[in-house]
C-alpha cells in the first residue's frame, strides 16, 4: 500500500501498477485506480487493522475528492488516463478493450466511452461506500460519504438509464457486467430491479449458462447473483465446464488461475502469446464466494476482523459436502456441511469472544449465536 501511496498522482489518481514501472503508469483508470480504496478496506474488514486505514486516509480522501469533482468522467480525465481504459478486461462481451472492439481508427467508440463512464461511476459509488464504512469504523465523520453515495446513485440513474430502467446506450442492455453493477450498487428497487434480474437471467440462458464477464464483472459476479436471488445461476456457473468457465481451464490441465478464459483451448491450442499469463489472480475471486457462500463464512464490515461473523451458507447437492476452516485474527472458524440422503447436516464453530449472525438455508431471518460448537440438521 505504501508503494501505491508513493505513486499517487498530483491530482489524486492512482496508477494501474505500483511502484511505477515500464507500463501501467497512466492514472485514474477505472477499476485499477480504485485499488487505492479497495485494498485498505479489504485489509481492515478481514483483520480489523485500523493502521492501514490511518496510513492511507489522506491519500484515499485526495483520490475521492478527485473522482467526486470530475464524476470520474473519461473525457475529463484524458490527460491522466491516456484515452484508454482496461475496463472489463478480457471479457467475452461487446466493447472489450484488449480485443479492440471498443475502438475504431479514430479512437474509442462513443458507446465505449459511455460504458467506461458507467463503470467508473459505479466504482465512484462503491468507493464512497467503503469510505463510509472506514470512516465509521475509525470514528470519523461519515456524512460526506453518505452524501456522496446518494449523489453518485442519482448521477448513475439520471445519466445512464431511461425512466423504465434500461440503459440509454442500448448495447449495454445485451451485456452481463452492466446489469451486475446496477444490482451490486442497488441502483433500483421494485419492478425495475425485477426487470433487470429477468433480463440477466435471459442473458445467461442465451449464452448456455456461461458467464461472459471479464476482470471487473467477474469480481462482483457470484456474490451479486447470490444477493439478488440468483444463487442457482451462481452454482451453475461454478459447475460449468464449457468455455468460458473455471472448470474448463481445469479440464484443460490448469493448476493455477489463468489470465484469460481461453489461455489454452484443447481445439485451438495456446491463446494470444503476446499477453497470456498462466498465473493471474483476477478470476480467482471465485474462491471468495466459495468461502463466503458455499461454506458460509464471511466477515462483517460493522465489526471487522471476524469479531462478528456472518454465517449464511447456500448449499448445492451437486457438491455433496464441504469442509472449511478459517484461521481468522479472532480465532479459528469452522463450517462443514454434507448431504446424507434427504438430510442436510451443518456443523460450525464460533471462536471464543466472537458472535455470529447465522442464517439457515431456506430461511430469511438470521439468528444470533455466541461462541461454541453447533450442529443443525435439516
Q: Which CATH number fits domain 295-377: 1.10.600.10, 2.60.40.10, 2.60.420.10, 3.30.110.40?
A: 2.60.420.10
Which of 133, 188, 153, 118 has its CA nearest to residue 302? 133
Burial class (CB in 10 A: 0-12, 13-18, 19+), 203: middle
Place of cell 444470533: 368
Predicted pLDDT at 87:
98
Contacts of 6 (CB under 8 A, 6+ apart): 18, 19
Query: What is the distance, to the nearest Å, from the Cα of residue 102 to the centroid of all Cα atoms in its chain?
Result: 22
Q: Grid coordinates in use for 2?
A: 505504501
Classify strands 298-299 and 269-270 as parallel, antiparallel or unpaired. unpaired
Indicate the domain borders of the chain: 2-291, 295-377
* pLDDT, tens digit (0-9, with 9 covering 90-100), for 206-245: 999 999 999 999 999 999 999 999 999 999 999 999 999 9
Distance CA 42, CA 147 (A): 22
Name the stretches of the chain with pLDDT < 70: none
What's the confidence (pLDDT) of residue 27?
96
pLDDT of residue 220: 98
- 341-350 per-position pLDDT tens digit: 999 999 999 9
pLDDT at 263: 94
Q: pLDDT tens, 100-129? A: 999 999 999 999 999 999 999 999 999 999
Domain 2-291: assigned CATH number: 1.50.10.10
Residue 161 has a pLDDT of 98
pLDDT for the residue numbered 266: 84
| pTM (global) more than 0.95 | yes
Amino acid at each position: 500500500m505504501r508503494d501505491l501511496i508513493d505513486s499517487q498522482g498530483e491530482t489524486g489518481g492512482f496508477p494501474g501498477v505500483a511502484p511505477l514501472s515500464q507500463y501501467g503508469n497512466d492514472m485514474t483508470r477505472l477499476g485499477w485506480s480504485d485499488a487505492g480504496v479497495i485494498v485498505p478496506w479489504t485489509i481492515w474488514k478481514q483483520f480489523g487493522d485500523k493502521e492501514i486505514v490511518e496510513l492511507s486516509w489522506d491519500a484515499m480522501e485526495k483520490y475521492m475528492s478527485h473522482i467526486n469533482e470530475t464524476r470520474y468522467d473519461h473525457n475529463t480525465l484524458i490527460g491522466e488516463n491516456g484515452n484508454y481504459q482496461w475496463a472489463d478486461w478480457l471479457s467475452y462481451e461487446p466493447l472489450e478493450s484488449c480485443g479492440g472492439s471498443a475502438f475504431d481508427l479514430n479512437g474509442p467508440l462513443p458507446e465505449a466511452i459511455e460504458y467506461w463512464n458507467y463503470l467508473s461511476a459505479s466504482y465512484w459509488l462503491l468507493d464512497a461506500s467503503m469510505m463510509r464504512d472506514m470512516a465509521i469504523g475509525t470514528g470519523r465523520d461519515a456524512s460526506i460519504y453518505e452524501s456522496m453515495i446518494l449523489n453518485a446513485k442519482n448521477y448513475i440513474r439520471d445519466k445512464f438509464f431511461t425512466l423504465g430502467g434500461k440503459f440509454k446506450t442500448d448495447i449495454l442492455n445485451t451485456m452481463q457486467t452492466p446489469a451486475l453493477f446496477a444490482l451490486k450498487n442497488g441502483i433500483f428497487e421494485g419492478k425495475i430491479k425485477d426487470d433487470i434480474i429477468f433480463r440477466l437471467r435471459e442473458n445467461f440462458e442465451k449464452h448456455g449458462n456461461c458467464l461472459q464477464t471479464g476482470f471487473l464483472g467477474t469480481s462482483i459476479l457470484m456474490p451479486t447473483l447470490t444477493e439478488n436471488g440468483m444463487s442457482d445461476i451462481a452454482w451453475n456457473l461454478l459447475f460449468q465446464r464449457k468455455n468460458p468457465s473455471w472448470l474448463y481451464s481445469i479440464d484443460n490441465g490448469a493448476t493455477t488461475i489463468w489470465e484469460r478464459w481461453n489461455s489454452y483451448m484443447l481445439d485451438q491450442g495456446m491463446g494470444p502469446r503476446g499477453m497470456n499469463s498462466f498465473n493471474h489472480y483476477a478470476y480467482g475471486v471465485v474462491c471468495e464466494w466459495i468461502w463466503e457462500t458455499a461454506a458460509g463464512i464471511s466477515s462483517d464490515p460493522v465489526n471487522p476482523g471476524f469479531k462478528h461473523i456472518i454465517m449464511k451458507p447456500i448449499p448445492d447437492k451437486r457438491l455433496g459436502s464441504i469442509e472449511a476452516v478459517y484461521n481468522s485474527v479472532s480465532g479459528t472458524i469452522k463450517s462443514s456441511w454434507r448431504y446424507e440422503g434427504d438430510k442436510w447436516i451443518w456443523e460450525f464453530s464460533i471462536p471464543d469472544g466472537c458472535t455470529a449472525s447465522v442464517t439457515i438455508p431456506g430461511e430469511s431471518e438470521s439468528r444470533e449465536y455466541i461462541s461454541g460448537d453447533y450442529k443443525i440438521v435439516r
